[in-house]
Structure 1
Amino acid sequence: MYGLIGKIKTLPGQRDALISILIAGVSGMPGCLSYVVAQDSTDANAIWITEVWESKESHKASLTLPSVQQAISKGRPLMAGFGERFETIPVGGQGIHV
């Protein structure tokens, strides 16, 4: 499995709009076991995304899907930049079966 945890910084006041775009653009991603969008609890302009995929290749392939490309295009103008990014190797947990 392949995991990814990343922080996106939004332009002031655009966090909720970007969250809506990201959540709407995630349907039908083959190989995606979990995709969670969360508000940062201390930064009103930051979002954390936690993803679990069957493989790194599944994640890479998802970036070519029309729905994902559309979400990226719509969301990019609301982004101020990126923060931390961590790749992980999920080994289990609720909703994840190895």
Structure 2
Amino acid sequence: MIVNRRIFVGSAAATLLFATKGNAMDEIDPEDVYAIIGQMLAAPGKRNELIGYLSEGSGNMPGNLSYEIWRDKGDENAIWITEVWKDEASHKASLGLPQVQDAIRKARPIIAGFGARAEVER
């Protein structure tokens, strides 16, 4: 099934903004929330390995409200990553965390490319 990108992005963004790792929505300023939806392509047969590396590296990231990895039903090598952050600065800071750097180092050789990417807002 082919999903219209605008419908997918809008639906995913709405879902993400309500999925907040135990934080009450009244503690989050929706004007500052930073959300990203992006597609990543694994080398053939390496999707589960890629998901494993990304999952390992995504725990305990300050300011992260939600980090979800989804298998694309129509492409056996593709995944979608949805992220919601307290603000854009938290996302940028996460890229320097040791576990994130380790995940990037492990995953890089099996990343075949990137698909659509959108920064979304409510």
Question: What TM-score results when the alignment is normalised by the length of structure 1?
Answer: 0.90
Sequence identity percentage: 53
- Alignment match, 1:37: 69
Q: Which amino acid aligns with 1:47?
A: I
Task: Establish whether residue 15 from structure 1 lines up as the match of residue 55 from structure 2.
Answer: no
SS of residue paired to 1:17: helix
RMSD in angstroms over aligned alpha carbons? 0.6
Q: Give the number of the structure whose residues are more often helix, by fraction.
A: 2
How is 1:1-98 mapped onto 2 (pairs within 5 angstroms)?
1-89=33-121, 91=122
Q: Which runs of 5+ in 1 are unaligned?
A: 92-98
Higher relative contact order (CA 8 A, sep 6+): 1
What SS does the aligned partner of 2:96 have? coil
Deviation, structure 1 residue 68: 0.2
Q: Which of these two proteins has the greater Rg computed from alpha carbons?
A: 2
- Match of 1:23, SS state, is helix
**What SS class does the counterpart of residue 58 from structure 2 fall into?**
coil
Q: How far apart, in 1, do the equivalents of 2:63 and 2:120 lie?
A: 16
Q: 4+ runs of 1 displaced by more than 2 Å?
A: none
Cα deviation per residue 1:22-45 (whole Å; 9 max; x = unaligned)? Answer: 011111100000000010010000
Unaligned 5+ runs, structure 2: 1-32
Query: Aligned pair count?
Result: 90
CA distance in 2, matches of 1:44, 1:27: 25
CA distance in structure 2 between the partners assigned to 1:21 and 1:54 by the alignment = 23
Where 1:80 maps in the other structure, the secondary structure is strand
Whichever residue aligns with residue 100 of structure 2, its letter is: V
